Structure 1
Amino acid sequence: MSVQATTWVWEHSQAEGTARLVLLAVADAANREGERAWVSAKTISKMCRIGHRTAQRKIAELIDSGELEKMGSRGEKHATVYRLPGVRENQPVRQDDVAPVRQDDVRQNGVYAKSDTPLRQMEPAATPPMAHTPINPSSSKELHPINNAHAHETVGERKRPAPGRVHYSPAFEQFWEAYPRKEGKLDAYNAWRSASHFNNASHLIAAAGRYRDNPNRDPRYTKTPTRWLNTRGWEDG
């Protein structure tokens, strides 16, 4: 599952109804970066509980709308490689991906300089604060690059609520309390949002309780809540 891909669908996709559900199924199968997914129409139809032809038709509609691209076939159980172009478009360019501007790339009076010093090192230093000017402690996190929480984050990380500021829904908290394994709460919440959008929350909570109380469940092999939700564990009884 890619948090970046599913978050993009929830917040940016213009697809509606069954097409939106199909796009969520593709996003659920996307790789870690959220750009590509390997999934068959048969799997999509099973995940969305729709007919195979309906799944194919909705995939075609998404491709026509530009929210999905078909890259080719992987050959494994007729799986197709899809690309979610919108995910990449909404990712900012990382500093590591940008080569520093060198001074020898800058023309000065018609002549190129021959220094190996990056241009940003040639910029004048910032004016130091005036003496005896107190620094507001509350602003120190914004001034210090190490403490700046947004300095190098990716799109997926920025979409996630900051630690300590997550407000989980009451229904999810009930599910979390009922589920036998407490691991990856934030990822589980994202999976919960997707599952509860198309399923009754009380049904999911009750199913989690049955899974917890199943005498045949081995604690060593208990699924994480995220995996249980993504694999539709509530359908197992």
Structure 2
Amino acid sequence: MRTAGDTDEGGVRRRKKAVAPAETRGWMKRLTLERLTRYYICLCDNSSRSQSDVVSSARIAECVGVDDTQVRKDLALIGVRGRPRVGFKRGEVIAAIRGVLGFEKQCKAVIVGAGRLGGAIAEYPGFADFGLSIVAFFDNDPEKFDTVIGGCKVYSTGEMKQVIRELGARLAILTCPADSAQVLADELVDAGIRAIWNFAPTTIVTPEDVIVGNEHVSVGLVALTYYLRRSE
């Protein structure tokens, strides 16, 4: 019987009796992954003050809003150590993060829901820097079949299993309405998808070995409006 899963601090949802925690499987913790990604974005930002060849842990910490001790600890974890009173070689840090997080290995993804949100995601050029390649769209609107969005062909949702297997996609981005999200998620899993980035305004349930990242836009909005009201 399907049961609802537990949600960790990063919004990743799995079923109860799920796979072992990351630290017991030799995986990096999610918060560490997020910090390393933020360091990477900061160091790759051409407008950043940390764009020089050598950058200090204090400068990285200031850029992403963490303590410089945490920066040194995280970089040491991936084998990067700076020089006292000098700092880290920017290119070395970028290369190390790319290697550890697997950005050099392409991850093929499909988008289910060829609406405005799906189109905006497909046309965002930054995903390529993280090794993500959008390879196909799926929708249930016949008028959208065989059209192209963000360089990707739109297929019928009835073709998902065949197309996903042919393209070798392992990740799906779900931007469909809430009432169809679970059915489509089941079909994606059956087609071989192992991770789902869920933008549908509902919770989906998947097998233990399929990871789901939920993006609840309203949660971020509520936080912003709450603090805005408190400050007025």
Provide the TM-score with structure 2 as the length reference: 0.31
Q: Which has the higher contact order (CA 8 A, sep 6+)?
A: 2
Q: Tell which structure's C-alpha radius of gyration is larger.
A: 1
Query: Which structure has more strand as a fraction of its residues?
Result: 2
Query: Which structure has more helix as a fraction of its residues?
Result: 1
